[in-house]
């Protein structure tokens, strides 16, 4: 176990709805990254938060947004859900934003959009 | 742009035989490289990482990888496969902007 917890573990939403996924980072970690893993593919970087500020963003539309709270937990919000948003969403925390820092992953939230 | 290519989508070995999972990277400067493993219904776990120190990197569970700049490769090896090694393996490059780039993954099957 990494100490990174995500909730919920599974979720079913209807196209057009909005969803919020949550992540509690490992104790002592101030950096959280979110990834989308479609079935049969590697994870793709959505964005990273460092000390409550966005610190990099991948190639995802603005309807993917996030927050990081003072306790360094984080939320991923997705508006206007599309069928292609169905995926495993992974959260990873690390103790710094350094490029050589190990990221510790949660078990993910599996989102199904119908 | 920084990226990785995992050359095999699926590798099958017999228990007790060597494992080789191949990864080539593309980077305009010396990158940070990682191998992660993903077991079914579990999160990603770091096996090992290369950060410009020793080119031969030893990781957990007997895995190791060698960084070869001339070949732009970072192949993962293990001398003797165990049934518990069956999983999905990801090669990852981390550019300075922390946009970790995952390969498509290699599914390792271990036959008894």
Contacts of residue B43 in chain A, CB cutoff 8 Å? 2, 4, 90, 105-108
Coil, helix or strand at residue B76: strand
Indicate which of B21, B30, B39, B44 best probes the interface with A, i.e. most A CBs within 10 Å of its own CB. Answer: B44
B37-76 burial, b at 16+ Cβ within 10 Å, e below that, comes to bbeeeebbbbbbbbbeeeeebebeeebbbebeeeeebbbb
What count of other Cβ atoms lies within 10 Å of the Cβ of residue A26? Answer: 18
CB B109 within 8 A of CB A66: no
Q: Judging by beta carbons within 10 Å of its beta carbon (0-12, 13-18, 19+), is residue A61 exposed, middle or buried?
A: exposed
Write down the pLDDT at residue B105.
96
Q: What is the pLDDT of residue A102?
A: 79
In 3D space, the residue among A39, A44, A30 whose CA is nearest the CA of residue A90 turns out to be A44
pLDDT digits (tens, 9 = 90+) for B67-78: 998 999 999 999
Q: How does the average pLDDT of chain A come out, rounded?
A: 92
Q: How far is CA B20 from CA B12, B56, B71, B88, in A?
A: 10, 15, 16, 13
Alpha-carbon distances, residue A9 vs A21, A42, A88, B41 (angstroms): 9, 19, 9, 10
φ, ψ dihedrals at B84, nearest 5°: -70, -10
Instruction: Supply the pLDDT for residue A2.
Output: 65
State the pLDDT confidence band at B108, using cuts at 50, 70 and 90. Answer: very high
* DSSP annotation string for A12-64: EE-TT--EEEEEEPPTT--EEEEEEE-TTS--EEEEEEETTEEEEE-S--TTE
> Residue B53: is its pLDDT beyond 80?
no
Q: B3-32, pLDDT tens digit by residue? A: 899 999 999 999 999 999 999 999 877 788
Residue B54 has pLDDT above 70, yes or no: yes
Among all residues of chain A, which has the CA nearest to that of B39?
A: A107
Q: What residues of B are in contact with residue A55 (Cβ under 8 Å)? A: 98
Q: How high is the pLDDT of residue B97?
A: 58
- Residues of chain A with confidence (pLDDT) below 50: none
Task: Please give the structure tokens belonging to residue B15.
Answer: 């228990």
Q: Which residues pair with A54 in a beta bridge?
A: A49
Using a CB-CB cut-off of 8 Å, the residues of chain B touching A90 are 43-44
Give the number of residues written for chain A.
Answer: 114
Name the 3-class secondary structure at B103.
coil
Looking at residue B96, what is its pLDDT? 60
Please give the pLDDT value at position A74. Answer: 96
Residues of B contacting chain A (CB within 8 angstroms): 32, 34, 36, 41-46, 49, 51, 90, 94-105
Q: Predicted confidence band at B41 (pLDDT cuts at 50, 70, 90)?
A: confident
């Amino acid at each position: 176990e990494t100490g990174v917890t995500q909730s919920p573990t599974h979720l079913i939403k209807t196209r057009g709805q909005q969803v919020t996924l949550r992540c509690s980072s490992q104790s002592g970690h101030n950096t959280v990254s979110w990834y989308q893993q479609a079935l049969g593919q590697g994870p793709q970087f959505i964005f990273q938060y460092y000390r409550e500020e966005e610190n990099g963003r991948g190639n995802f539309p603005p309807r993917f947004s996030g927050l990081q709270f003072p306790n360094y937990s984080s939320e991923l919000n997705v508006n206007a859900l599309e069928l292609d948003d169905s995926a495993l969403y992974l959260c990873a925390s690390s103790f710094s934003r350094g490029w050589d820092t190990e990221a510790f992953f949660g078990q993910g939230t599996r989102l199904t959009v119908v | 742009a920084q990226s990785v290519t995992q050359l095999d989508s699926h590798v099958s070995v017999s228990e007790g035989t060597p494992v080789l999972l191949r990864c080539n990277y593309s980077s305009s400067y010396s990158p940070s490289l990682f191998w992660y493993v993903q077991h079914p219904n579990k999160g990603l776990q770091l096996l090992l990482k290369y950060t410009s120190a020793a080119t031969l990197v030893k990781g957990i569970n007997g895995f190791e990888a060698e960084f070869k700049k001339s070949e732009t490769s970072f192949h993962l090896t293990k001398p003797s496969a165990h049934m518990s090694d069956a999983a999905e393996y990801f090669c990852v490059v981390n550019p300075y902007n922390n946009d970790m780039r995952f390969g498509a993954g290699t599914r390792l099957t271990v036959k008894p």
